[in-house]
Homo-oligomer: A and B are copies of this chain.
Amino acid sequence: MIRTVVGTDLPSPNATILRMGGLAPLSSCEADILRDLPRQARIHPAQTELCREHQVQPPLVLLSGWACCQRILGDGRRQILRFVLPGDAIGSLAQPVLPASSTTVALTQVVVADARPLLRPSDAAGAPWAGLTKAIAMMSHVDEIILRDQVVRLGRQTAYERLIHLILELHGRLQAIDMIDGNSFSVPLTQDILADALGLSVVHINRTLQQVRRDRLLDMRGGRITIHQMDAMRRVADWVGSIAA
Of the listed stretches A142-150, A170-178, A224-232, name the one at the interface; the rest are far from the partner chain: A142-150
Cα separation A81 to B155 with both chains bound (whole Å): 9
Whether the pair A238, B74 counts as a contact (CB closer than 8 A) is: yes
Whether the pair A199, B155 counts as a contact (CB closer than 8 A) is: yes
Interfacial chain B residues near A138, Cβ < 8 Å = 98
Q: Any chain B CB within 8 A of the CB of A78?
A: yes
Whether the pair B147, A95 counts as a contact (CB closer than 8 A) is: no
Task: Give the number of residues in A that approach B within 8 Å (Cβ atoms).
Answer: 33
CB neighbors of B among A127-177 (8 A): 137-138, 140-141, 144-145, 147-148, 150-152, 154-157
| Min CB gap A203→B, angstroms | 16
Contact with B along A85-97 (1 / 0, CB 8 A): 0000000001100
How many chain copies? 2
Whether the pair B156, A199 counts as a contact (CB closer than 8 A) is: yes
Residue of B nearest to A197 (CB): B155
User: A74-B238, A147-B148, A148-B147 known; A199 and B154 CB under 8 Å?
Assistant: yes
Q: Any chain B CB within 8 A of the CB of A186?
A: no
- Identify the A interface with B (CB < 8 A): 71, 73-75, 77-79, 81, 94-95, 98, 101-102, 123, 137-138, 140-141, 144-145, 147-148, 150-152, 154-157, 196, 198-199, 238
Q: Which 6 A-B pairs have the closest CB atoms?
A: A155-B199, A154-B154, A79-B155, A79-B156, A77-B156, A154-B155
